[in-house]
A and B are shown apart, each in its own frame.
Chain A
């Protein structure tokens, strides 16, 4: 499968714990995006990378959230001191850095439950 992959698919954690998610984009896609989706809503943009550079961050991304893409390939999203409001599906997407870059390919998501 050459699509976007995410790990883990499900994560249950206790409030106050730190969690880290990983996203592997489609090979050679140099843009990588993180979105969050809560029940009954569409995905909401969190942040995006062009290669290893983080170029935009949403106001939704509080200081407890940090994302990295150190080598311009896979990316990690870390949430520190999780809160119940962080429970959501975290989606990763990637796109090629060309004219078609506006078409984003989504991974299966990581479902986070904070108890």
Chain B
């Protein structure tokens, strides 16, 4: 069965700091990978996705993620965070032959103004 691990439960950064959130998944075959974000009081939104092709994917609001197949990782990065990036971030995986998405437990990001 697939699973997703997000090792950082809560990350606190100052504005303009660089961000990297870790995500590892367990599945030996082809996967689709996602990062979803949940801003306070709002619903889950897709930040970026990887289906195939260039392993470096760019999403909304300056976020990017790199798929490293050999490490089963899909880390999320942003070079300079803003206070408005305060949110919960979920990494997720989907096996192309299935429909359900498996989510990690999430990382809460707090940005100090």
Contact = CB atoms under 8 A, between A and B. Distances in A.
Interface of A: 3-4, 31, 33, 40-45, 48, 55-56, 58, 91, 93, 101-109
A48 B99 contact: yes
Contact of A42 (B49, B51, B98, B104): B104
Nearest to B96: A102
A58 B103 CA distance: 14
B90 A42 contact: yes
B100 A108 contact: no
21 contacts: A33-B99, A33-B100, A40-B105, A40-B106, A41-B106, A42-B103, A42-B104, A42-B106, A43-B44, A45-B102, A48-B100, A56-B99, A91-B43, A93-B44, A102-B49, A102-B51, A102-B99, A103-B34, A103-B49, A106-B43, A109-B43
B46 interface: yes
B21 interface: no
B97 to A, nearest CB: 11
Contact of A55 (B9, B99, B102): B99
Contacts of B45: 106
Question: Interface residue tally of chain B, by bracket?
Answer: 20 to 34
Interface of B: 4, 9, 32, 34, 36, 42-46, 49, 51, 90, 92, 94, 96, 98-106
A102 B90 contact: no
B99 A43 contact: no
A43 B103 contact: yes
Contacts of A107: 43
A23 to B, nearest CB: 12
Nearest to B92: A42
